Amino acid sequence: PELCQAFLKIMEDAHQNFAILHPQEWCCGSVFLRTGAWDLAQELAKHNLKALKESGAKEVVTHCAGCYRTLKLDYPERLGELPFEVVNAIEVVRDLINEGKLKFKKAELRVTYHDPCHLGRHAGIYDAPREVIKAIPGVELVEMRRIKDASWCCGAGGGVKSAFPDLAVEIAKDRISEAEETGAEYLLSTCPFCSRNLKDAAQAAESKLKVYDILELLQEQLK
């Protein structure tokens, strides 16, 4: 929830009008889709699509990479063409920065970025998160060995975090090691699954890395 709250704070700071689909919003169904629970996934998708249509929304924004992939790619495949555009929060933030609606304090930080599977390989969004990071004055972005379409999965997706939590953390430890190689102080991502699992791995590995979602860092650096 803190990631969603960070995005709402950013939107308010940029004086943007928006609505929240509550309490009609249900889980997007991503995990059910990835684990083969087709009937449950379909029930959730139909409910959400009906609620979004009734809201009259022309643009639907999600801060979760899994939700984004599900709404953007899976819903049209299973339910037909959508009457609205699906965008990720990081794309919205990039546009607000380019329009001069967001200003950030200078931060002398060295950071590296982890590409979430759903946002990167599945949806092709690689540049927007990096553009947003570079927009914070004083922040130095250093890349890991495996990035973009070759990025190492955090280990949490596809139901792995729920079914095999120890395996999920072991996979994430490899990513923590790669991030440490860069000399970065912060490991950033744009997915709640990635953030949660990478934080667990950093703690398990007794790493000094600070794991943040980009939205959290942006909220802290708002002028």
CA nearest to 190, candidates 26, 102, 66? 66
State yes or no: pLDDT of 22 exceeds 90: no
State yes or no: pLDDT of 204 exceeds 90: yes
Beta bridge partners of 189: 213
Q: What are the phi and psi torsion angles at 2 (to 5°)?
A: -65, -30
pLDDT for position 23: 87
pLDDT for position 66: 95
pLDDT for position 159: 87
Using DSSP's 3-state secondary structure scheme, residue 1 falls into coil
* 74-101 confidence digits (pLDDT tens): 999 999 999 999 999 999 999 999 999 9
